[in-house]
Amino acid sequence: AGPSCRRYVSGGRCKSTAKLDGKVVIITGANTGIGKETARDLARRGKVIIACRDISKAEAAASEIRAETGNQQVIVKKLDLADTKSIREFAETFLAEERELHILINNAGVMLCPYSKTADGFEMHLGVNHLGHFLLTFLLLERLKQSAPARIVNVSSLAHHGGRIRFHDLHGEKSYNRGLAYCHSKLANVLFTRELARRLQGKFQRQAEFTANSLHPGSVHSELVRHSFVMTWLWKIFCFFLKTPWEGAQTSVYCAVAEELESVTGQYFSDCQPAYVSPRGRDDETARKLWSVSCELLGIQWD
């Protein structure tokens, strides 16, 4: 049962050989795990910008990827999603340096952190996983539009099934559970993707090729569980049943490059195919409300 069980666990493969010649990709949190493997794959196809908080780790990952792929266009930029000032600085620098942006992969994430807040006072999971990426996407949207066909890929999780958007206590000040906080933030990713796709479609009938999709990478053996001793221990025991980071990156790569997805938008994928979204993840009213509350919290107008 070994190899076939392993094959089952490893899930779908991205079979597309699409090249991204002359195209520019940004991947957040691409210095370890799934993000790094996504960057490694896309660096074989085109120019990749690795946007990370830890520059030394990111540089190490980038030089390894450059050496392996022979692509010198793997560039590291500082981005701390827990600080809106850093997000704005990143976007400003990027827009000044790059004329085009074709693919934005919002991959970075925190998981199971003890209660803490971002520089702007947002609960850490919601702040980094949702609000940070929401602001980043907002700041880069015009450049993506100008570069269409373009794609936005939001890495969510199966954990969105356990989430709800607690508008009465968004920052977990009344009650906090780090497992649930992660689930809530992953549900926010699904709802953001859905509402973004809806808004983009309304604006560009002629440009169906500007898309936004979300995905579940699979249960992956990565550093995400570092804040939890029990999870780290369970991960070690059950690693046979977990995807490798390379396997976990397949659906991100698929959403970024697969030819058959060029006009597919607002969908949620797992194992390189459409997957079931929880009823809460399909609630348009919640999606709209989350959008306006996010704009309010970030002090932006995004219509």
Residue 243: pLDDT band (50, 70, 90) is: confident
Tokens linked to 49? 């910008």
pLDDT at 120 over 50: yes
Amino acid residing at 296:
E
Kindly report, residue by residue over 67-95, the tens digit of the pLDDT.
999 999 999 999 999 999 999 999 999 99
Report the pLDDT value the prediction gives residue 244, as an integer from 0 to 100: 82
Tell me the mean pLDDT in the region 248-272.
Answer: 95
Kindly report, residue by residue over 6-49, the tens digit of the pLDDT.
445 456 889 999 999 999 999 999 999 899 999 999 999 999 99
Tokens linked to 175? 């009650």
The answer to whether 35 and 248 are in contact (CB under 8 A) is no
Distance CA 172, CA 191 (A): 19
Q: Which residues contact 21 (CB under 8 A, 6 or more apart)?
A: 45, 46
Neighbours of 99 (CB within 10 A): 9
| Pairing state between β 103-106 and 74-78 | unpaired
Average pLDDT, the chain: 90
Spell 188-203 as b/e; 16+ CB within 10 A means b.
bbbbbbbbbbbbbbee
Chain position carrying tokens 């459409």: 274
- In DSSP terms, 155 is beta-bridged to 215
Percent of the chain with pLDDT over 90: 80
Collapsing DSSP to helix, strand or coil, 249 comes out as helix
- Which are the catalytic amino acids? 182
pLDDT at 115 over 80: yes
Torsion sign across C-alpha atoms 153, 155, 160, 163 = negative
Tell which residue, 15, 36, 91, 33, has the closest CA to residue 225: 33
Tell which residue, 210, 125, 135, has the closest CA to residue 163: 125
Domains of the chain, CATH where assigned:
19-295 (3.40.50.720)
Tell me the mean pLDDT in the region 125-146.
Answer: 97
